[in-house]
Structure formats: structure tokens, C-alpha cells
Amino acid sequence: MKLRENIRNIAIIAHVDHGKTTLVDQLLTYSGTFKEHEQIESRAMDSGDIERERGITILAKNTAIQYKNTTINILDTPGHADFGGEVERIMKMVDGVILVVDAYEGTMPQTRFVLKKALEQKLKPIVVLNKIDRPNARPTEVVDEVLDLFIDLGADDDQLEFPVLYASALNGTSSLEANNQEKTMDPIFETILTYIPAPVDTANDPLQLQVTLLDYNDYVGRIGIGRVARGTIRVGDRVVVLKQDGSEKGFRVTKLFGFIGLKRIEIKEAKAGDIVAVSGMEKINIGETICPADHPEALPPLHIDEPTLQMTFLVNNSPFAGKEGKYITSAKIEERLKTQLETDVSLRVDPTDSPDVWTVSGRGELHLSVLIENMRREGFELQISKPQVILKEIDGKTCEPVERVQIDVPEEYTGAVMESIGERKGEMLDMINHGNGQVRLIFRVPSRGLLGYATEFMSQTRGYGILNHTFSGYEPIVKGYVGGRRQGVLVALENGKASTYGILHLEDRGIIFVGPGTDVYAGMIVGEHNRENDLTVNITREKHLTNIRSANKDQTSIIRKTRDMSLEEAIQYLNDDEYCEVTPESIRLRKKILNKNEREKMSKRSKK
């Protein structure tokens, strides 16, 4: 069996914030891929605005590095389980993975998730313990944790013989030993060449190329990115795309791109093992196979985990509709959602009885909130409902998604956290006391119990707690009430501007969300009540002016700080009878029924 020894294809996988993208930066720099005069930004692979702001990878991306006459194709993958669709596709394009693990934090929920996907594809793993320069790094224990995780996930004997390297991606050092760091990435490169298998050379066989990623260019249209699984593809070739519905569509390869560093370069041909971008087919989709017309043979379809969470997207119909957004009609919103479906394989969009309402399903709150954030930045206005978990019938039983939750907190907060997770029907699996005042708690919790929990958790732990969770599977539904928001809300009585006088008279009723001068409308949520019921309030009222001088006239009124909510916090805060109104400039919470009398009538009916 002939191999293409001058190529290696690997993916970098890790829990979020363990340093994958920073490590890719160093590999690009030390390989000499960038010329001396070229500037490389930190986290060069995270090109999206939201990725840079949040410090997370959302979309998988590929780069190619030249090292000792070998092309190493590296695919940087997301660490969040919400973007698992990206991770699963990438595993089909590579022969091995570099698992990056924080030398202090050790294995985390998403480490388990991404490693499970790699082991299922029988890929060869290399383990890199990153952040080895941290003063509290514990490399020996973390290597044991990684080995336990491999065994727990059913790794075969070959996969268990993984090499371990130690690195500080931030400082650009790596080595084969924990305490002998050198300013080089050679140990990682050499281990890739030695340990990751080279692709099999099948250049003379009929072509097979499965589209795994999509891109778009104004000049050449849609671009399909994938690995040549078999054969050779050339510019000018007449080929067919085997569509997901079983049909065939012929096209001519107009352009072919290879990768070097962060750039795409035009090439004339690519062979088995190469990762390339192909243009010429306007309606190509993820998972479809490109092959010769006289030898149509599709590769197995890509398996993608089903969505676990759904939300209702609606056209904005609040009194402020159309004031801040550019795209506000149902036609524009539907067109945008259809565009997203073309590249996001984990997303589902289903129409409803109303042309202005859609059910949008995804892998989690983060997955859906990133879509909504992108839409508002593009100029869209819309409303969204509280997220709901997706139930499934399995063996005649109604089942719900369940998550594995890992919480790291200072010891003094463990009681409060355990009590609150218990209220959300969580089951404790493990408790590890690290002996330095930090405790790690591991639970299994129904996904609906985690909706809106992040805000409560941060308050409970004074911001010192770290919460991570990943999808575990479906289990029979837990009966009874599972978590949820306890407090009621303060709802504006009428349209107008929030006044200093109105806010001051409400501060003893709860926490205010809006500042003086903010435009509000009847039915808009302007604060959180300090009791469990909702309260309609007049936040726009002004002080009546009289010619009588007050004894305390010179006292200055100071308003407490209002609570600002991010998009994710607002989504988590919602109750069943509320919407979040999202525009390019504002995020507002509102009641579904804006009129006070109608709301009260509906509330009475529901209690009967």
C-alpha cells in the first residue's frame, strides 16, 4: 500500500479556552509559514468578530504548514459542544488529532465530548499538556486523568499508546518533558511526522471528495471545502455531485484552491489526501460527494447529533418595531435563516401556522445566541421566545436531553451549589477536593434544569465559580418542576421615557433594568420584582411641580446602578409568557401580551 509521505492531516481539539488556537498561532510562526515582514495577529484562526470578542472558536477552519518538505494540514475546531456539528465533520477529514489539555484544569466536559468524537472515528491521538508554565500546573495528575478518560471512552489499545508533549503556547515553548521547556515547536512537529499516519495514495482510482465545509465568494459563488478521499481532481474536470436526496447534478470544476498558512492559493490539481476548496457548483451542500459521471459512488453521509433545544423566532411586532433595524420583514428573516442552514448542519428551521413565526432548533443556548447576535449585527430586528428542550419518544417512553455538568468552586460555596442543582433535579456523580480550597463537583442534570441557571450560579458563587456542561444523552423525563426563574418582573404601564423620579420610587420594589431617558412601552419589562409575582409600574411618571418649597429640597437623589443584560443573559432570563426583542441597537424584554388588562384576564384563566 503506497502512502503519500509528504502530507499529514490533523485536527486540534480541546475544551474551550485550553489554548488550541494559540497553539496553532505558534505552529504557524515557528514553521516559517509567515515571512519576516508579515504580521500575525494573536488567535489568527479566529477570524469572526464574535470569536475574537468572546475568545472562542465557533467555525472550524483549516490551515496548511510546510515542515521539512511535508505539508501538515491543521484543522482548528470549536471547543464548545454547542458547535459539535463542526467537530464531527472535521473528524472525517483527518488521520489524527492533537488533544490539548490545560496542565492545571485537566480534563473538562468538552474535552470528553471532542475526544469521544475522535475515538469513534478511530483517529490517532497526540496529547499536548498546555499552560505548563502555570505555577499550579499538575502535569502528572493530569496525564493520569487523560488516560482514565481514554479508558472510560473505550479507546482501543493502539489509541491508548498516545505520546504526551508539554507546551506553553503563549510563550512558544514545547518539549517531551514537563520541566525542560525550549523555545521551539519542533517536538510537536516531529511527533506529528512520526506518529500521525500519512494518507494512502489512491491518485489513479476514481475521484471521491466529500464536502465538509462551505464558503462563499462574490466572484466564484459557493465554495465546497473537503478532503480528496480517493483519486485526483483537476481544474476543467467534468464531475457530478451526488445530492443528499439521491439525485445527481453535473458541473465543471472552474477553480481549485489549496491552502498555505492562512491563504488560499490556486492550484491545477489535487490528489487523495489533499484538503482543497472547489468552485463551480452553485448549489453544493455539506455531506455531498463529488465524483466522476461514469463512476458515481457516494461516501457515507455525515452523522450529525440532533438539536436538543428550540426557540420561536418571530417578526418584531412591538411598538418600537422598525425604528432601529434594516431588515424587519418575514421574507428577509426567512431568507437569512435559510442561508444559515446551508452552512450550519446542526441547525433546523421549521415553519409554523403563521408566516411570521419559525421554530428554530439548535445544539444549545450558545449555538442559537451566536446566530441571533450575528443577525442583529447584520441589521435584523426580531423577537425570540424562551428556549425549550426537545423531547423524544424512545422505546415508548418520553425522554429529555440530559447534560453532564462540571462545576469548579471555592469550598465555601459547595453547599449552595449542591442545593440549587438538587432543586433542578440534578444527580451528583462525583466530588473531588483538590486540597487548595477548590472543589470540583460533577452532576448529571436535565437540560431544562440548566436553562437560565448560569446567572443564578454566578450570583451564588460571587463570580468565583466555573460552570461547564456538555450533552450526555436522552433519559426518561424527570417528573415535576425543574428549576426556573423565581422572581417576578416589573412591567411598564404606559409608553414614554423612564424618568429619574419614576425609577427612584421603584428601587425598593426590585432591580431596575433601564436608566433615565430610556424609551419604554406598555408591557415592556423594566426590572425584576423582589417578590414572585409580576407588578405593573409607572416608570415614566414625573414629579408634579408646585410653588411650595420642600424642607429637603437640596438633597440629591442618586439612582442605583441598573442591570445590563447581554443577549445570552436575556435569553436565559425569559419566562414562558415573555419575548426578547432584539435589534441592532437594543435588547429588550417584554410580555407576550402587552395590554395590562388582557394579561390579567389571561392569568386568571390559566389559574382556573
Tell me the whole-structure pTM to 2 decimals.
0.76
The helix (run of H) or strand (run of E) holding residue 265 is strand 263-266
Q: Is 18 annotated as a binding residue?
A: yes
Q: Output the nine-digit C-alpha cell for 206.
A: 476514481
For the chain, give the longest Cα–Cα distance.
99
Measured distance CA(115)–CA(124) in Å, rounded: 11
Rounded Cα distance between 436 and 244, Å, is 54
Asked if 280 and 251 touch (Cβ cutoff 8 Å), the reply is: yes
The rounded distance, in Å, linking the Cα atoms of 264 and 220 is 14
Separation in Å, CA 599 to CA 109, 228, 495, 603:
42, 59, 17, 6
Radius of gyration of the CA atoms of the chain, in A: 27
3-state secondary structure 427-457: EEEEEEECCCCEEEEEEEEEHHHHCCHHHHH
Q: What span, in angstroms and rounded, lies between the C-alpha atoms of 66 and 189?
A: 10
- Please state the three-class secondary structure of 160-189 as a single string: HCCCEEEEECCCCEEECCCCCCECCCHHHH
Helix axes 186-195, 20-30, angle to 10 degrees: 100
If one counts every other C-beta atom within 10 angstroms of the C-beta of residue 188, the result is 23
Query: Which regions of the chain are under pLDDT 50?
Result: 34-48, 50-60, 79, 82, 554-555
133 is in an annotated binding site: yes
pLDDT of residue 127: 94
Which residue type, as a one-letter code, is found at position 603?
A: S
Is the CB of residue 74 less than 8 Å from the CB of residue 64?
A: yes
Q: Please state the φ and ψ torsions of residue 466, each to the nearest 5 degrees.
A: -120, 125
Cell numbers representing residue 522 in the block: 406598555
Instruction: Report yes or no: 368 and 311 within 8 Å, Cβ to Cβ.
Output: yes
Q: Which residue has the cell 442543582?
A: 421
Cα-to-chain-centroid distance, residue 458: 20
Helices (H), 330-382: 330-343, 365-377
Element of type H or E holding 26: helix 20-30
Residue 466, marked binder: no
So what's the pLDDT on residue 463? 79
Phi/psi for 368 (5° steps) reads -75, -35
| Options 1.10.10.60, 1.20.1290.10, 3.40.50.1370, 2.40.50.250; CATH of 489-578+587-607 | 2.40.50.250
Nearest one of 179, 126, 180, 175 to 150, comparing CA atoms: 126
Region for 159 from its dihedrals, namely left if φ exceeds 0, alpha if ψ lies in -120 to 50, beta otherwise: alpha
**Do the beta carbons of residue 21 and residue 45 sit within 8 Å?**
yes
The CATH-assigned architecture of domain 392-476 is 2-Layer Sandwich (3.30)
> Binding residue per annotation — 20?
yes
pLDDT of residue 319: 93
Give the number of residues written for the chain.
608
Q: Are 110 and 81 in contact (CB under 8 A)?
A: yes
**Residue 584, helix vs strand vs coil:** coil
Contact criterion met (CB below 8 Å) for 60 and 90: yes
Q: Which helix (H) or strand (E) holds 205?
A: none
pLDDT tens per residue, range 338-384: 888 877 777 899 999 999 999 999 887 878 888 998 899 999 999 99
Q: In the block, which residue shows the cell 449555538?
A: 367
- Per the DSSP assignment, residues forming a β-bridge with 261 are 64
Type of residue found at 339:
T
CB atoms near residue 39 (< 10 Å): 6
Do 208-292 and 489-578+587-607 show the same overall fold? no
Domain boundaries, the chain: 7-195, 208-292, 392-476, 489-578+587-607
Q: Tell me if 19 is assigned to a ligand binding site.
A: yes
What pLDDT sits at residue 407?
A: 87
What does the pLDDT read at residue 92? Answer: 82
Q: Would the annotation count 592 as a binding residue? A: no
Find out whether 130 is annotated in a ligand binding site: yes
Q: Find, among 385, 376, 383, 384, the residue nearest to 324 by Cα.
A: 376
37 annotated ligand-binding residue: no
Superfamily of domain 7-195: P-loop containing nucleotide triphosphate hydrolases (3.40.50.300)
pLDDT value of residue 519: 92
Domain 208-292: which CATH class? mainly beta
**Location of C-alpha cell 497526540:** 126
